[in-house]
Amino acid sequence: MRMPAVSVVIPSYRGGRYLREAIDSVLAQTLEDWETIVVADGCEVDLSDIEQDARVRVVRQRNRGGSISRNVGIGHASSDLVAFLDDDDRMLPGRLLTQVEAMKDQSIGLCHTQFRVIDAEGEVIGLGESRESQYGDFLESYGAILLSSAMVRRSIIQEVGGFNPLFPIGEDLDLFYRVARESRLCFLPEVLNEYRVHGSNGWANSSSSSGQEIKMILSQHQMVAEARGEAQNLRAIRKGRKYVLPSRAQFALLAADQARARHEYREAFTSFGKAMLISPGPVSRVTLRAARRRRLERTTR
């Protein structure tokens, strides 16, 4: 049996029309040599309609969470290239072909793209903020990758141990740190994915502490850097800790960004004010760094 060029992994615990839109976006790819593994994570609805295309398979399991679901999908993948897509997001038609071409460079372990933000009805409301990110950028709390836009070598994922189910929110960031430590990352600035903002987003509804998770991840990498005498990485980690926000402040900034994307500027200002009240120093540093980056991007266009 011939191996497909890429395996797409979609975990889903809800099914529904968003999952169908996600599958339709894969079916619309200009690259036709793919397989898709949908991991139904406790999802008991009938999904037989999405398996009408022989390239789409559904793997069912009890509800075990996103990390284990993705690991299960990776385990069923036939290709060494694995593209991730959340069940409420969508690919644009050229994504898989463009990434497969980029991944012909064997030094690249992960390739991700720019994305745009859509609302519950699929209308575009803004541009995402992914950017060129290597290991040092993550250590400085500056890396930015959307998992739904990422294609990763299965061999690298297995080498670093896959997704960690002990992180309820930061499992994607934790994986990015570990993959970036072991390989080069590639950023494609072309918009090739859509991230949906709606009332059921896991990030928006989570009560877990993402700030604590980031500190835990940095502590793990600090231990490695200390053991190996990596002075440059230790300096980057010390810098990165200054930009880690408490969860409430991070969620407030996220709400401000989403409101700004919807052009609801009063709500954006209110949410930003909440973030400043919660953690004025780190929020100021994060905001000033983002402003400098946007200004630099405008001058280099």
Report pLDDT digits (tens) over 249-278. 888 888 888 788 778 899 999 999 999 999
Range 117-139 average pLDDT: 92
Closest alpha carbon to 141 in 238, 246, 209? 238
Alpha helices in the chain (DSSP H): 16-27, 66-76, 95-102, 135-139, 154-160, 171-182, 202-205, 210-228, 231-241, 247-261, 265-278, 280-300
Closest alpha carbon to 25 in 3, 56, 68? 56
pTM above 0.85, yes or no: yes
* Residue tagged 């999908």 (tokens): 73
10 and 22 in contact (C-beta within 8 Å)?
Answer: yes
pLDDT band at 238 (very low <50, low <70, confident <90, very high): very high
Residue 265 CA to residue 262 CA, distance in Å, equals 8
Give φ, ψ of 243 to 5 degrees: -105, 5
- pLDDT of 203 reads 43
